[in-house]
Structure 1
Amino acid sequence: MGQKSGTFRLPLRILRGMYRRIKPALFRLDAEDAHHLTLRALGAASRVPAWPEAARRLNSAGGHRLSQTLWGRPFASPVGLAAGLDKNGEAVPAFSALGFGFLEVGTVTPLAQPGNERPRLFRLPEDAALINRMGFNNGGAEALRARLAALPARPAPVWVNIGKNKATPNERAVEDYRACVRALFEVADGFVVNVSSPNTPGLRALQAAGDLADLVRAVLDEVESARVRTARRAPPVLVKLAPDLHPGDFEASVGGVVEAGANGLIVSNTTLGRDGLTHGHRVQTGGLSGRPLTTRSTALVRDAYRLTRGRVPIVGVGGVFTPEDAYAKLRAGASLVEVYTALIYEGPGLVARLNRGLSRLLERDGLRNVAEAVGVDA
């Protein structure tokens, strides 16, 4: 055990050291320029023969204690990559190599669109947060389909977060979500219905319980049609909710999507709230992510778990920086957690550190498997 642990710590220290050296230079760049530069580097690393697989073996430490089966699919770790970081699936092998148990790409829309005008991504270092108003900038569903279809192997499930084009009115939004399913069914290990981004005008109105239930049923109908057409196993359909819903509306939305047949929930998206922020960028419009959401998103996970009584898996998102943050969400009712903002601040060694820390916390509490922790505090 000691030799294996020491072998693991060495590359983790190297990753941390490398990121500490390059982080000041990256943070001197515009946030979106730094994002694109990093993504290009990860895309290049994805094409290095044998590297992603070798790196993943080092970064996935946690063993059987972290593995579980959900929707009939194995997850080697409960830690996943949240949507928004790799919108177009450009660096799936490299992100998988970091030790993620699953990846969420997108948000993708049927047609390519540029998103909102720049600048549209802002760091708030003192708050360990980001504000973005990207506006679903992406290369479109067909381009993503081609990129995912070309992957030689897929060591972790890849979910696709789907949305509507900005120009599509809400009364025709269902058509866009159906179009995404049709285009991506054969390459997606899961679909995430995004109705909770604050950066597409009118989108959050689709979270109203009745409208959302109708949308979920339409997406599930399209998935079933594609399953029959292709004879491929149907991927799960999850719905991503905002943290800003009134408690009564949140309860109605959760109930509506579960009754409509959704296979899971993602709680939560970015917030429009600005309480407690100190950085000057707090005045920027857009969705806030990172440390300010830690407590709020965990409480919402607990609410969703109680409302659903554990009937569907929940993915906890928002302010996961430490193993303790991730563990709190699991104990509140999440079966999986996702990270984004913390990866920007902590660097690529974060995922391995979360995996190792979660395994230790489970061992400390006498739990043999991560599934045993789910909902114990709810």
Structure 2
Amino acid sequence: MYRSLIKPLLFRLDAEDAHHLTIGLMDAASRVPAWPALARRVTAPASPMLEQTLWGQPFTSPVGLAAGLDKNGVAVPAFTALGFGFLEVGTVTPLPQPGNDRPRLFRLPQDGALINRMGFNNAGMTDLHARLGALGARPAPVWVNIGKNKVTANEDAAQDYRRCVAALQDVADGFVVNVSSPNTPGLRALQGADDLGALVREVLQEVEAQRVRTLKAPPVLVKLAPDLHPADFEASVDAAVTAGAAGLIISNTTLSRDGLTHPNQRETGGLSGRPLTRRATELVRAAYRQTGGRVPIVGVGGIFSAQDAYDRIRAGATLTEVYSALIFEGPGLVRDLNTGLARLLARDGFTHVREAVGTAG
């Protein structure tokens, strides 16, 4: 139904208008009493081989929603109803900001890709706190992707990340330090090993400072870009892990335009979707080899099928995330990924998903 009816209608709209319409409908669905919980009984994976406990939290599936789709956490119940094992909301900044001028989101249908230059448009940390605080019990962990405001200089960036932690720790199941978006001027400079290590330590200090008040210490993960030189990527991975990051998310959008055919390839911004599949898988493999599996890796970028997710897991990812594929394939994608993963694991003789992590060498 999505591919034959809903998707053609949505794709007639401007990409961002379609996004807002979809999020609005998901927001409305989230407010229908009991519907999200009932729907999740059907969509959530029934296979215990997909269940994991990480950082003391239960994950019913290794398939999660990447940041950027639900920036303000308005549709968490509806997204959990699709069967995700976890969700990432944001990127959120301390102060609300409108982001970059429109148009700023573009489809490349024949490439299976999106280009965005949104610029961390969001309603701010206070608004997100109110929304997440009103959710009550959650069937899946909700991570908060945090960033700095555009007007904040890099030398003051750590204070923005700390402010987000201080404001949101009591409602966040995890934090993702976003230093890899290409759409905030100067942000990617924070991926340099020295700056990144210092930033992660600042964030962890704030998490520890808030522990007494919140009675919790959510894990802190770092999201890296796919465009780093191999030596810089290795240095950034080492800096993040050495500083105490609990995990890595690999990767963010890319500035590369290799192999694209759609005219929108000329638009500036970060590219996501199928063109990232191979590159993101290679980076997960490199990070897993480098770290020896000491911290969980979340593989994201170009995952459109159960085989894609399985390849990412065998490369070294403990968890995976999707975004662009959801736009092109529709809400049934999540269940397809879960059932397909269980089938692939069983085919290869694995009894649990953790047994497959990193087995591709």
Q: Indicate yes or no: 2:217 matched with 1:222.
A: no
Q: Which whole-Å CA distance do the structure 2 matches of 1:308 and 1:275 have between them?
A: 29
Contact 1:62-1:359 at 8 Å conserved across structures: no
- Of 69-78 and 83-92, more deviation after overlay is shown by 69-78
2:21 alignment counterpart:
37
1:298 alignment counterpart:
281
Shift of 1:61: 2.5
Secondary structure of the 2:145 match is strand
Q: Which amino acid aligns with 2:319?
A: L
2:305 alignment counterpart:
322
2:132 alignment counterpart:
148
2:39 alignment counterpart:
55
Q: Indicate yes or no: 2:238 matched with 1:265.
A: no
1:137 alignment counterpart:
121
1:285 alignment counterpart:
268
- Of 50-59 and 350-359, more deviation after overlay is shown by 50-59
Q: Indicate yes or no: 2:53 matched with 1:69.
A: yes
Contact 2:45-2:60 at 8 Å conserved across structures: no
Q: Which whole-Å CA distance do the structure 2 matches of 1:214 and 1:46 have between them?
A: 39
Equivalent of 2:153 in 140, 144, 169? 169
Q: Indicate yes or no: 2:101 matched with 1:117.
A: yes
Q: Which amino acid aligns with 1:342?
A: A
1:79 alignment counterpart:
63
Secondary structure of the 1:234 match is coil
Secondary structure of the 1:148 match is helix
Contact 1:333-1:376 at 8 Å conserved across structures: yes
Q: Which whole-Å CA distance do the structure 1 matches of 2:261 and 2:3 have between them?
A: 25
2:235 alignment counterpart:
252
Q: Which amino acid aligns with 2:296?
A: P
1:366 alignment counterpart:
349
2:332 alignment counterpart:
349
Q: Which amino acid aligns with 2:249?
A: I
Equivalent of 1:159 in 134, 139, 143? 143
Q: Which amino acid aligns with 1:236?
A: P
Q: Over residues 121-169 of structure 1, what are the superposed CA-to-partner deviations in whole Å (9 max), with x where a residue is unaligned?
A: 0000010000000000000000000000001321000000000000000
1:335-346 matches, cutoff 5 A: 335-346=318-329
Secondary structure of the 2:298 match is strand
Shift of 1:22: 1.2
1:204 alignment counterpart:
188
Q: Which whole-Å CA distance do the structure 1 matches of 2:44 and 2:76 have between them?
A: 16
Q: Which whole-Å CA distance do the structure 2 matches of 1:93 and 1:176 have between them?
A: 28
Q: Which amino acid aligns with 1:84?
A: G
Shift of 1:73: 1.0
Shift of 1:57: 1.2
* Misfit runs of 4+, over 2 Å: none
Contact 2:36-2:81 at 8 Å conserved across structures: yes
Contact 2:2-2:330 at 8 Å conserved across structures: no
- Of 213-222 and 152-161, more deviation after overlay is shown by 152-161
Q: Which whole-Å CA distance do the structure 1 matches of 2:167 and 2:90 have between them?
A: 14
Q: Indicate yes or no: 2:35 matched with 1:21.
A: no
Q: Over residues 313-332 of structure 1, what are the superposed CA-to-partner deviations in whole Å (9 max), with x where a residue is unaligned?
A: 00000000000000000000
Q: Which amino acid aligns with 1:32?
A: E
2:314 alignment counterpart:
331
Equivalent of 1:276 in 242, 246, 259? 259
CA root-mean-square deviation: 0.7
Q: Indicate yes or no: 2:359 matched with 1:376.
A: yes
Q: Which amino acid aligns with 2:335?
A: A
Unaligned runs of 5+ in 1: 1-16
Q: Which amino acid aligns with 1:118?
A: R
2:177 alignment counterpart:
193
Contact 2:227-2:254 at 8 Å conserved across structures: yes
1:12 alignment counterpart:
none
Q: Which whole-Å CA distance do the structure 2 matches of 1:329 and 1:321 have between them?
A: 11
Q: Which whole-Å CA distance do the structure 2 matches of 1:21 and 1:61 have between them?
A: 26
Shift of 1:19: 4.7
Unaligned runs of 5+ in 2: none
1:6 alignment counterpart:
none
Contact 1:102-1:158 at 8 Å conserved across structures: yes
Q: Which whole-Å CA distance do the structure 2 matches of 1:300 and 1:61 have between them?
A: 28
Structure 1 length normalisation: TM-score? 0.95
